[in-house]
Amino acid sequence: MAAVDLTTHPGHLARRLQQAHYLLWTTMVSEEITSPQFAVLNVLVAEPGLDQRTVGERVGLDRSTTAEVIGRLDRRGLLDKVRDPQDGRRFLLRVTDEGERTHRRLTVRTARMNQVFLSPLSAEERTQFIELIRRVADAAEHLRHPAEPGTAAG
């Protein structure tokens, strides 16, 4: 049996991209705040007061990872959990003042990191690349959360 050419395997390439992203993230953005933690802060800056489940859905994290990320951000004082007055079992999440300062600082750094990450591509290729990987990521989300029976997948 002959070896396969892994340069044509999307999963292999996605793993290599993730490794490159991780290296750039830790050297250019933060060694303390991870990319998923930044994503959670970002969604809560955009939509304060979301519950944990909705935050996880917005950033594409599973329940246990979402809980872990939120717990770490809470322990660092970057977000507050407030019991939902409508449903005592739920917590609503808000970014603290320190969380907002951290988000602002990291937003500038992520913009620089993304420029470096995408530097091998022309402006047009960057737009195409982002659209293509977004489509693949969105399709993967539909695999994790298939449409309910009797509804159309979208």
Residue 151 located in a structural domain: no
> Average pLDDT, whole number, for the chain?
92
Within a 10 A sphere around the Cβ of 68, how many other Cβ atoms?
14
> What per-residue confidence (pLDDT) applies to 88?
85
Residue 140 located in a structural domain: yes
Residue 154 located in a structural domain: no
H or E, element range at 65: helix 63-75
> What per-residue confidence (pLDDT) applies to 153?
46
Residue 152 located in a structural domain: no
Residue 7 located in a structural domain: no
What is the rounded CA–CA span in Å between residue 99 and residue 74?
A: 10
What is the rounded CA–CA span in Å between residue 94 and residue 78?
A: 9
Residue 154 has pLDDT above 80, yes or no: no
- What's the number of domains the chain is made of? 1
What is the rounded CA–CA span in Å between residue 22 and residue 7?
A: 20
Mean pLDDT over 122-136 rounds to 96
Least confident of 11-20, 76-85, 99-108, 132-141: 132-141
With beta carbons less than 8 A apart as the criterion, state whether 113 and 28 touch. yes
Question: Would the CA dihedral through 24, 29, 34, 40 be positive or negative?
Answer: negative
Domain that holds residue 133: 12-144
Residue 5 located in a structural domain: no
What are the tokens at 20?
A: 């490159």
Length of the chain: 154
- pLDDT tens-digit series, residues 47-103: 999 999 999 999 999 999 999 999 999 999 999 999 989 888 889 999 999 999 999
Residue 6 located in a structural domain: no
Residue 70 located in a structural domain: yes
> What per-residue confidence (pLDDT) applies to 147?
63
Give the domain CATH number at 30: 1.10.10.10
Nearest to 55 by CA among 45, 64, 46, 44: 44
Confidence bin at 151 (pLDDT 50/70/90) = very low
What is the rounded CA–CA span in Å between residue 99 and residue 117?
A: 25
Least confident of 53-57, 69-73, 108-112, 143-147: 143-147
> What per-residue confidence (pLDDT) applies to 145?
63
The share of the chain scoring above pLDDT 70, in percent, equals 93
